[in-house]
Amino acid sequence: MLKNRISVLALAVALTLCSCSGTGGSNDDGVGLAVVDNGGQSFAPNVHPYSYPEFLSKIDTTETLSNVSYRSFDPSFVSEVTTQPFEGKECIASCSGHYIYKSGNFVGVLDSSGNTILEADTFARAEFVSGTILRMYLYDFEGSDYIYADISDKQNVRLIDNYAFKSSNIRISERRVEDSDRVLMYLISNGTAVTQTGYDSISQKDISELPASVGCKKAYTVTKDGAYYIITFDEFYNYTIFEGTYAKIDLSIAGKPGSCYIMSYEDNIEAKTLIDSFKRFEDDNTDTRDDDYISIDFGLYGEDKYIVTLYSSGKLITQGTRDGEQFYQSAKVDKRCFGDLVRWVDTTVRAEYEDNA
């Protein structure tokens, strides 16, 4: 909620500065200081202070999927038991309402009520790899043989010697909304809906297109009310929902390059609205070789595939495909717009990365 208010405020300020710019001549409101890290300070008409967004120095721009919306399981979900919940049982770890307990040299598994799911009589060590699957080691040393225990049905625990991920265990289901013609789609994993929220569309995604660090076995692109998400599944059917990557930002200030992604649907719309608000004038073919610049590629998702490049001199180039038509546009805008756009990146987009650090 706070982030949304900050974004709205940033947009309002930028719209005030750029949309209400004069005609570029008679209404010049003075000289602003352009702060750039080039060993000194330079002055230029109509340029408000801007500087290199330092958060760009701390991120890996190759990882497009970093805005995590939800994880069904993470090793951090496993908690060490410090206060024993059940009399006569020594619990050592818990996750999703299940407990690993110790008896002598062996470990077993209890449910949330302390009932035994798996007796402590065979395995020396256990670890959760999902909320319902544990890796059970025969001996308590590195490299010990292990098998898996599926405890999803506590009345019928399955010990699996040769565990293997099966792609067919994940499927797509359609469901018509009651009293409506709308049909929503759901992802079903091992017979259970991944989320209670249905999607407007679901399509399988080529996992080779995703960063190797994601480490998934299967992935889908899903859409809902204009926004899109990537849902990945690992070998134990744990899923992670990432908010989609909508645009790529590249910039250079005082010769220092940087890049990042817009990973919020609302922020992507805000960026387009901000740029569309810039009042345009006829281009005077200004040389931009020594200019700072910022370029936003809006072609990462959706039907529109176009790139906007704004230079510190005010030159604005937009090119690509919009509404199904190829186009190229070159114009001039108030020089203050460049600083506004850089500051928008340094506030709104920076918050996306900080929220998911």
In this prediction, residues 236-262 reach a mean pLDDT of 94
The tokens of 267 are what?
């922020």
- Full DSSP string of 278-343: SPPEE------TT--EEEEE--SSSS-EEEEEEETTSEEEEEEEETTEEEEEEEE--THHHHHHHH
CB 320 within 8 A of CB 306: yes
Angstrom distance (rounded) from CA 240 to CA 333: 42
Please say if the pLDDT value at position 232 is more than 60.
yes
**Both ends of the chain: CA-CA distance in Å?**
18
- Structure confidence at residue 36 as a pLDDT band (50, 70, 90): very low
Residue 55 — left, alpha, or beta (φ > 0 → left; ψ -120 to 50 → alpha)?
A: alpha
Residue 59: what pLDDT? 81
C-alpha 227/C-alpha 302 separation (Å) is 10
CA distance linking residue 134 with residue 192, whole number of Å: 19
Mean pLDDT of the chain: 86
pLDDT tens digits, 291-347? 999 999 998 888 889 999 999 999 999 999 988 889 999 999 999 999 999 999 999
How deeply is 187 buried, as exposed, middle or buried, from its count of CB atoms within 10 A (0-12, 13-18, 19+)? buried
Q: 39 — alpha (psi -120 to 50), left (phi > 0) or beta?
A: left
State residue 62's pLDDT score.
62
What integer pLDDT is reported at residue 61 of this predicted model? 60
**Left if phi > 0, otherwise alpha if psi is -120 to 50, otherwise beta: which for 79?**
beta
Q: What percentage of the chain exceeds 90 in pLDDT?
A: 69
Query: What pLDDT, in 10s, does the model give residues 120-160?
Result: 999 999 999 999 999 999 999 888 999 999 999 989 999 99
**Phi-psi map region of 186: left, alpha, beta (phi>0 left; psi -120 to 50 alpha):** beta
Q: Please check the confidence at residue 89 and state whether its pLDDT lies above 60.
A: yes
CA distance 259 to 293: 12
Least confident of 21-25, 133-137, 203-207, 298-302: 21-25
Contacts of 128 (CB under 8 A, 6+ apart): 73, 75, 77, 78, 93, 95, 96, 98, 100, 134
